[in-house]
Homo-oligomer: A and B are copies of this chain.
């Protein structure tokens, strides 16, 4: 059943013994929601704990440390920032079928919970947690505020992307009324790089190829290259590389080609207006959004290149 902020607040107030679930391969939004909500409920005198199928990256461990994990049998299961049961990872089999309340902001989502609060205008699911907090008149503190802030910052690239709204900034302003280390969090989220990641970026950038008068840039993450960095980087260090090619001035289409198997390549496409990344990827059976999309192509590197480039060229020509 689709519900609203007011009703979601009531549901949380009138229940207890909460298990809050984050999505697998967790990001700052799902963790910020989970630990922020957990802290809030505990402050209301309720019992609450958080679970996630995968480990938390070191840069986000501070979120976990904002709450004391309590031991009890869960009665009320809440999922946060989870668009699909499957995204719970290994937790789906155990809890996926009995989720009481799902709080999320993804446009295309599956209804799997008894109650679903969804607002795709929210830049981050943490915006919804904050609205619920206001509705519940919940007491916040610096630690809860740091969790919710982390969600906002993560999903908006620190208020940089087009999903940022006036509301996002207003919530950030209200959160900053509590004391927490804003610049320290942002350093961890956005600026800090491991030595291995720095070297990885170097290697990838060195192999960047330009086409169509430098309006297309492609980088290759071959298994050979990834093996070379094995042990020197965390798996986390392979995230967020898709934005590298589009950073180059004049590049309208940036593609990151990641080798998934001997002859399987996953392609992430990032575009500038007016090129629609989703439409481009749809031609290969993939999909996504206007500015960011993905698809998979089977074949050799040469085959992938021979398939992609004419499509990119055509898309550029069609929009000239």
With beta carbons under 8 angstroms apart, the residue of B169, B186, B192 that contacts A172 is: B169
**With A160-B183, A170-B170, A182-B162 as given contacts, are A248 and B193 in contact (CB-CB < 8 Å)?**
yes
A183-217 Cβ-contact flags toward B at 8 Å (1 or 0): 10011001111110010001001101010001000
Q: Is A282 an interface residue (CB 8 A)?
A: no
Q: Which residues of the partner chain B approach A167 to less than 8 Å between Cβ atoms?
A: 173
Please indicate the chain B residues that have their CB under 8 angstroms from the CB of A191 in the complex: 160, 243, 246-247
* A residues 147-185 touching B (CB-CB < 8 Å): 157-162, 164-170, 172-174, 176-177, 182-183
Copies, count = 2
Instruction: Return chain B residues, CB-CB under 8 Å to A214.
Output: 195
Q: Which residues of B contact A177 (CB under 8 A)?
A: 166
Q: How far is the CB of A176 from chain B (nearest CB, A)?
A: 4
Determine whether the beta carbon of B160 is less than 8 Å from that of A198.
no
CA distance A182 to B177 in the complex (A): 25
Contact B174 A160 (CB under 8 A): no
Q: A160-B183, A193-B247, A202-B202 are in contact. List 4 more A-B contacts (CB 8 A).
A: A160-B191, A162-B183, A191-B246, A198-B208
Selected A-B contacts with CB under 8 Å, 13 pairs: A157-B186, A158-B159, A160-B186, A161-B183, A166-B176, A168-B173, A169-B173, A191-B247, A192-B247, A194-B248, A195-B210, A195-B249, A198-B247
Q: Which residue of B lies closest to A192 (CB)?
A: B249
Q: How far is the CA of A191 from the CA of B162 in the complex (A)?
A: 14
B contact residues around A166 at 8 Å (CB):
173-174, 176-177
A205 to B191 alpha-carbon distance, docked (Å): 15
A267 to chain B, nearest CB (A): 21
Collect the chain B residues with CB atoms within 8 Å of residue A243's CB: 191
With both beta carbons as reference points, the residue of chain B lying nearest to A191 in the complex is identified as B247
A214 to B159, CA, bound (A): 32
Q: Which residue of chain B is the closest to A185 with respect to CB atoms?
A: B160
Q: State the Cβ distance, A79 to closest chain B Cβ, in Å.
A: 28
A248 adjacent to B198 (CB under 8 Å): yes
Closest chain-B Cβ to A237's Cβ sits at a distance in Å of 10
Cα separation A177 to B168 with both chains bound (whole Å):
12
- In the complex, A193→B205 CA distance in Å? 12
Beta-carbon nearest neighbor of A170 in chain B = B173
CA A172 to CA B172, docked complex, whole Å: 10
B residues near A159, Cβ cutoff 8 Å: 158-159, 172
- Name the residue among A173, A191, A243 with the largest chain B CB count within 10 angstroms: A173
CA–CA, A190 and B243, complex, Å: 13
